[in-house]
Structure 1
């Protein structure tokens, strides 16, 4: 108790000042060399803050508790340590790292690199490993860019990344911003670890020097208490990760215990010259996570198959799986088309059974009672989107076991029954009925009765057959040209032996799928004995058995449902009748592929998109593959830029190019009355990346292009081109099958193949794709905050004094763009975007540096280019800080927000009109 009280006092002091005592009662020497033992057991900590000025994803302050101790590295992993271990682990394929000194912290490493290192160090010392996975992917420089089915084994006594809660608790024992390497004293470079340490039990450089990876996904803290907290159970739509502690680039005012991110989006594949990591060691007993709804969860569900493997099975990434987690009684959803494929558990106030995915893959319908159980059920529909919690209830007295259909007139409908209970009693069965109701624009129509009898196994679209099971396989069939009526023929198939989990095929074959109880009829058909639910059976439209598929060894089937002509989805149960896996069964070859594993996984429903006949003239494995699993945000942006490019290539008159400043604020929609524009800006960006995008793709294919609008980001002109730069086309693109395929075909200068757009559209993506495509490439949802209290400078403003060639090369790149555009009779508008007006009180032009005196000279030179290149116009919206963009129109120090879109796009529109 005293320890907890002392820690609370310590945390309070830390929240009010920049220092803490270096003599903490919570740390002592560890038996692991270079580590400090943190005595956290019985103590409290925190994640987040209640400071209203903090970012939304840093609020509120969430209390954490510990029932265990752990060890943590005194300093970040150094270059020497990293290179030695990775060399032993990967040999010649180890990451390429350029370090001036072995004692510098390792940087330019991905989250996945840190995972590989942690496991390698554990193996080197003959310990258990903390991380499990199926496959790893490395880029040409040896960096790990993707790990499929990555999971943390919290019970392993092994090296791992610290959790955010552990990192904050440890940092709080020796937090001192006055002893940090930050933008005020670092000379914008890393320094040897522990140069500013004051005691042997002090953690070094947790504030400043380099930011540090922690184990957690990024999500919002909650106003709750979390015991042994290990972070969100799954990542958000971008798969964002947390980095802690600030770096040599940040001013002291921007470094805090609660801060969790960077200027740019941070994902598992991100790497930067100011991001490294340190390790923790030890088990985490009884861990707790937050799920996507901000609720504590201890459920354990893991994906077995990657999106690439799913594509090989179904022919498309656009595959979705929904099932019931019987432990939590909620629906779980997986979208395999996402680069950050994750397990989403929907929060609900009712128990959800028998989900069925709509024909377009957008919605799921479900009910509140399972097959064979008495009681009244209700039906609900919700969108398959982790960000949308809207639920639509069918307003009828009783409705159960929904099944989507597209009717013969094209309406999307749901077929349902008024009772889900056993059909053994014929009178009771016929006292219930089967109905259909339309669902359009998230609204139910008027329900219409189809027939008497609760045929919850399905009704064919042509209304020729209806089936049901639990406990008898009852059917109703309409002969000739008639459709189902109450007088249609009733039958009980399967020799009146018990059957359940009945499902009518979704195609025109009218096949019926079901399970049995090791019946005489079944044994006779397969020619051998078997156990209950060990085999699934298929009957034709007359009730004749035509196929049986056995379950994998020591498993049985349950909850079988048709997916498509040749696929069935099912739960797999073990000898203890635990529904531990979900599997896809191929009816043609009788193979079973496991998809997901957990504790109790019920009632699976699977959907995959029907695609047009593939274009055989292109390589389906390469064409349009601009994104891979677990990819970074910059690649997500480019993936949608490529989709927009191929979609509008024959119509585009204006290409909006450049950095995130263009991406956030120039709207093609607002230009539509006068110009057909597409926003092709991306981040990170440089003048070299813009030049390459134009030369490789746009000039060669956009035949109607008349205007280019590009951001003139002179504070970025310290950037370089080629290897080691952030030029996407020079560094990243060659690692993707799609870009490499384009390059091998001269970027389609001789003609774009017909199937390229379809291939691109069907590639991996993100859940909130509409943000990237709705306004033809302008990124939606940029909130209006402010320019910021402090004009932060994150690069060395004097770099051009030491390296004047950087300016010269950037100017040459701009001139090259103007020259090529002029040769093609294309006019160019250069835009200098507004930044925080408080930069007027600093020595810097903007967020990314450049002395103000240098900036004035450079802008003057750019203005003079209009004489040499009459096709060029400069629109200076910054005016050295004397602009008219108010605080309410800003997102941060150097970006406008969504509200500013109207103002700045109108000004660009006015300039373009003068060029007509």
Structure 2
């Protein structure tokens, strides 16, 4: 095997490592770590103990600060070593087909996703006769049988089974045995894995907690707070990036970079990440009264679990532009899920306003809600706020009482909200007629003047022509052409909702009444069936609740034959929110929690007409249900390309260095710039993008800026680190483009729009689309002692990889020369402190070798006159100061501004522009 492969990071991002930390817990391990009956496990006496997570070190990463104390009131078991390759293959190969290629059965099992690890834990539980700690609805696997996604994934801390250790558990044990000098590290490993427990003294039974392989732990990655928690198990989800935690350093880490508090890699780590230096060890045992802590810092003993992914939603609604809002009755807060992304998260807007009956605006950007409850008389306030994590731009309707808001679009295009003055019991005729139904326009964040529609509280919905309205709070009432009528033979009904299309159908729930039973042809209980009547009040359809549940809080969605509801279990708890497809009667689980009320589902239909020849399941689908940052980045870079292809004349290609180093919007006319740099990037990736996307479609291209990351040129071309080697085949859009010769015979109209409406991720959308591809980075430092993350002698064993990368650069230069396009090859600044090492930069090459190799690249301008070689690193003798650095080899926003200004000067000189 090529030694270079052992040193390849999976995904390169802007991040940095810490320094050696020899802190310990101060406990006597001999009294805390005991033998146990489960083979390979030790009993850890943690009950009554505590551990400190995070640090107060100012130079630590933001997600490692501040110190947070975690208390234990339970004991647990933990594995002596990481799970070995032989153990993993022996259990999982017969079950999933995944076979790890290992030098020895006794080295740690690596190249595994987080999902691979939890599936192994589940299988260990089954073999041992224990319950499984992890549940899921569906599993997705790649061509090598690695698990890349578990739809509806949930961890159950109350289960007595095998699992991954929590970060707190891992830290508690590691703090007693921490000694990076006694593990396999960059100084002694020869940059390869070694058999478990084969280095030095085994500390109190545990081995390899520092070095050899980094280790998955159970938690999602979240922030810390200056607080104390008991039985902490991490955040409820991974946020917009779906990040996970790895601990402990590896065979490729220098001792100085291993910190006990470190909780990640220099690369973004997600549940589907895999790398040859990341493995795992097991823990065992239930965690009683587990505590989660959200990104807002609020601790909770419950959480909201998402049971359906974006693809499932798309299969029902026909679009990814779908949002779900609902009340978390435990907190009284509004929660929502945006299904447009590949990574889903339930976001809760925390404040002191009690939220009932939310409804999402027609554009999906705002939510209206009230403080009153259907069936309960009394005053209610009506609010509108932005549907985002902060719930910004909160406004209140200034009336005495307003309840059950429902958005509508008027014939003139205005947006309005219909509400009632009282949502109480409508069985009393006098009380019902004493209330009224109103409408108020809402525009630019401001309410207009309320207008009365008619007497009676018709909070189930009003038709667009105002000639039809319904309500249900004891009786199913309708206002037909101004006349109030009672439907359903006067039997008890509730949760009425008028369809948002023109059918004037009403869905509702009953109490197992005579009329409903006669229509169904069977007896059923209260709320056991959803019922639908037509515009005359005649029953036309029914859907049964799933076994063991009843419906509550039923509502039509904004799309056709779909409704949402909560499911109530036999104990009366509103346990789930479900989507009901009235076309086929299917009930799809959406979210699960302790008490989830009043769901509202918004669906946006695409407002463009695409080329009918394009396959909507493939065209522009550059991302699927995945947390792969490489695909997510490229998805938005392709959206930029298709959107601006006829406008741009400057394109940036390369790695994370130009992605965070060239501010596209700062380059003035005539330089219309798109930053299409991506992560991870090999020169072959830049060649692929240039050959198949940039040169064929950017007709006005004049300048191509390409990063020359020569320290990264140790990577083998045919590997997973080249996205266009195999990884791209998981995403239909790239394969579709390839099968159509990348549309070189003509761009198909609608592809840009289909890309825009395809699955994405909110984080990357917010980063790349407004900035035209630039990724802002906070200031850090160049680091006084920057780590070398590769053997700097790799040119001796991997020179063929270097020259393969050089040949891809030449391919780009040939294409550019044929089109009279300038190629600006940039060597980006790295830490000037690499001058104090034997390495050119972060990933090696001897400093003694680098000048010759750089000169070899520069000499290409003889054969290619349009090639401009630009070295901003200058072997570390550059003028980019500490504040201009994000970390050891990336510019911060300040450095990017300086670099972009200089790029502008260079482009001016090539263009013949003299600016004042």
Residue in structure 2 matched with residue 595 of structure 1 by the alignment: 590
Residue in structure 2 matched with residue 6 of structure 1 by the alignment: none
2:726 is paired with a residue whose SS is helix
Please say if residues 663 and 777 of structure 1, whose CA atoms lie closer than 8 Å, have aligned partners that are also in contact: no
Paired positions, count: 890
Given candidates 836, 841, 858, the residue that maps to 1:841 is 836
Q: How far is the alpha carbon of 1:664 from its aligned partner?
A: 1.2
The CA deviation string for residues 709-748 of structure 1, in whole angstroms up to 9 with x for no partner, is 11111111111201x2411111311222222222222222
2:216 is paired with a residue whose SS is strand
Residue in structure 1 matched with residue 280 of structure 2 by the alignment: 277
Residue in structure 2 matched with residue 5 of structure 1 by the alignment: none
| Greater Cα offset, 505-514 or 50-59 | 505-514
| Greater Cα offset, 533-542 or 142-151 | 533-542
Separation of aligned partners in 2, 1:779 and 1:395: 43
Q: How far is the alpha carbon of 1:155 from its aligned partner?
A: 3.4
Please say if residues 23 and 175 of structure 2, whose CA atoms lie closer than 8 Å, have aligned partners that are also in contact: no
| Cα gap change, 1:648 to 1:183, in 2 (>3 Å) | same
Residue in structure 2 matched with residue 77 of structure 1 by the alignment: 83
Separation of aligned partners in 2, 1:121 and 1:471: 52
Separation of aligned partners in 2, 1:133 and 1:772: 31
Given candidates 253, 262, 266, the residue that maps to 1:263 is 266
Separation of aligned partners in 2, 1:823 and 1:794: 38
Separation of aligned partners in 2, 1:67 and 1:134: 31
Residue in structure 2 matched with residue 636 of structure 1 by the alignment: 632
| Cα gap change, 1:186 to 1:438, in 2 (>3 Å) | farther
Q: Does 1:317 align with 2:323?
A: no
| Cα gap change, 1:279 to 1:875, in 2 (>3 Å) | same
Please say if residues 771 and 780 of structure 1, whose CA atoms lie closer than 8 Å, have aligned partners that are also in contact: no
TM-score of the aligned structures, taking structure 1 as reference length: 0.92
Q: How far is the alpha carbon of 1:245 from its aligned partner?
A: 1.1
Q: How far is the alpha carbon of 1:580 from its aligned partner?
A: 2.9
| Cα gap change, 1:672 to 1:544, in 2 (>3 Å) | farther
1:420 is paired with a residue whose SS is coil
1:469 is paired with a residue whose SS is strand
Residue in structure 2 matched with residue 48 of structure 1 by the alignment: 54
1:173 is paired with a residue whose SS is helix
Q: Does 1:103 align with 2:109?
A: no
Residue in structure 1 matched with residue 532 of structure 2 by the alignment: 538
Please say if residues 693 and 729 of structure 1, whose CA atoms lie closer than 8 Å, have aligned partners that are also in contact: no
1:651 is paired with a residue whose SS is coil
Residue in structure 2 matched with residue 60 of structure 1 by the alignment: 66
Residue in structure 2 matched with residue 510 of structure 1 by the alignment: 504
Q: How far is the alpha carbon of 1:23 from its aligned partner?
A: 5.0
| Cα gap change, 1:74 to 1:663, in 2 (>3 Å) | same
Please say if residues 835 and 878 of structure 1, whose CA atoms lie closer than 8 Å, have aligned partners that are also in contact: yes
| Greater Cα offset, 752-761 or 141-150 | 752-761
1:514 is paired with a residue whose SS is strand
Separation of aligned partners in 1, 2:324 and 2:505: 22
Residue in structure 2 matched with residue 399 of structure 1 by the alignment: 402
Q: Does 1:239 align with 2:242?
A: yes
Please say if residues 210 and 275 of structure 1, whose CA atoms lie closer than 8 Å, have aligned partners that are also in contact: yes
The CA deviation string for residues 850-895 of structure 1, in whole angstroms up to 9 with x for no partner, is 2222222222222222222111112222222222222222211111
Please say if residues 19 and 176 of structure 1, whose CA atoms lie closer than 8 Å, have aligned partners that are also in contact: no
Residue in structure 2 matched with residue 580 of structure 1 by the alignment: 575
| Greater Cα offset, 385-394 or 41-50 | 385-394
Structure 1's unaligned 5+ residue stretches are 1-13, 479-487
Q: How far is the alpha carbon of 1:27 from its aligned partner?
A: 0.7
The CA deviation string for residues 644-698 of structure 1, in whole angstroms up to 9 with x for no partner, is 2222233332211000011112122222521222111101111111111212322
Residue in structure 2 matched with residue 8 of structure 1 by the alignment: none
| Cα gap change, 1:727 to 1:376, in 2 (>3 Å) | same
TM-score of the aligned structures, taking structure 2 as reference length: 0.92
Separation of aligned partners in 1, 2:423 and 2:31: 62
CA RMSD of aligned residues (A): 2.6
Separation of aligned partners in 2, 1:688 and 1:18: 45
| Greater Cα offset, 438-447 or 226-235 | 438-447
Does 1 or 2 have the higher relative contact order (CA < 8 Å, sep 6+)?
Answer: 2
Residue in structure 2 matched with residue 831 of structure 1 by the alignment: 826
Given candidates 350, 355, 358, the residue that maps to 2:361 is 358
Structure 2's unaligned 5+ residue stretches are 1-19, 912-916
Given candidates 547, 555, 573, the residue that maps to 1:561 is 555
| Cα gap change, 1:526 to 1:206, in 2 (>3 Å) | closer
Separation of aligned partners in 1, 2:230 and 2:756: 43
Q: How far is the alpha carbon of 1:902 from its aligned partner?
A: 2.5
Please say if residues 458 and 470 of structure 2, whose CA atoms lie closer than 8 Å, have aligned partners that are also in contact: yes
- 1:800-819 aligned at under 5 Å gives the runs 800-819=795-814
Residue in structure 2 matched with residue 700 of structure 1 by the alignment: 696
Separation of aligned partners in 2, 1:871 and 1:184: 44
Separation of aligned partners in 2, 1:371 and 1:652: 55
Q: How far is the alpha carbon of 1:269 from its aligned partner?
A: 0.9
| Cα gap change, 1:455 to 1:170, in 2 (>3 Å) | same
Separation of aligned partners in 2, 1:82 and 1:588: 45
Separation of aligned partners in 2, 1:413 and 1:764: 30
Q: How far is the alpha carbon of 1:774 from its aligned partner?
A: 2.8
Q: Does 1:139 align with 2:134?
A: no
Residue in structure 2 matched with residue 88 of structure 1 by the alignment: 94
